[in-house]
Amino acid sequence: MKQMVRLWLVVLALVIAGNAAARATGDAQWEFGARVGGMITDNSFRLDGSAEVLTLSRTLDDKRVIELEYGADQLDFSMDYGLSHTTFAVNYLEVNREPLWDPYILVGIGISEFDAPSGITEGRDAMMQVGTGGSWGLSENGKLLLRGDLRFRYDLNDTGQPGQDGWGDAIFTIGLSYRF
C-alpha cells in the first residue's frame, strides 16, 4: 500500500511539473490511446499471451512526452495457465519528430500486480520498462494516430513463485491514439 501511495505522489508531481512546463512553452497537448498486442516471456520466441494498454499522454514540448499507462495481460504459455498482470506505469518518451512519422524511445517505472493459478496466488511489485516505437498520422488534422511499440518490461518480483522471480517480458502492441 505504501508503494502505491508513493507512486501516486510521484505521478501527481510529474503531471503538475509537466503541465507547468507545457504551459510555459505553449506546446501543451493531450493524447488518449488504446493498443492491443502480444507477449513473449522467454527465449523460445513464441507468443505466450496477450496485452491490452490504455494511455493518457501529455506533450511537454516538441520532443518530450509524459505518459500514464494502464495495462493488463493474460499469459497462458500455450496451455491455458491463467497467469495475469495488471500494471500502472509512468513513462517518459523522447520523440524524434519526422515528416511521415514520429519515432520514440520510452523509459518507464510502475507497479505490477499479478494473479496466478497456484502457489503464491497474488502480489504487487515494482517494475521498469524500456522500449521503442512510433506513431503515424491517419487524419489530415493530425489528431488520429496509428501507434505501435516494442518494449521490454522487467518486474522486481521476489516471491519464489515459479516463473515469477525477476521476470522480463517482450511486449509488442499496436493501436490508435487521439490528440486533443
**pLDDT tens sequence across 122-149:** 778 899 999 999 999 999 999 999 999 9
Pair type for strands 122-137 and 29-40: unpaired
Which structural domains are found in the chain, ordered by start?
A: 2-179 (2.40.160.20)
CA distances from 71 to 36, 79, 100, 102 (A): 10, 22, 28, 22
Q: pTM of the prediction?
A: 0.80
What proportion of the chain, given as a percentage, has pLDDT over 70? 73
Q: How far apart are the first and last CA of the chain?
A: 33
Instruction: Return the pLDDT at 123.
Output: 79
Average pLDDT over residues 26-49: 84
Handedness of CA 161, 154, 70, 79 (dihedral sign): negative
Instruction: Return the pLDDT at 168.
Output: 83
Residue 78 has pLDDT above 70, yes or no: no
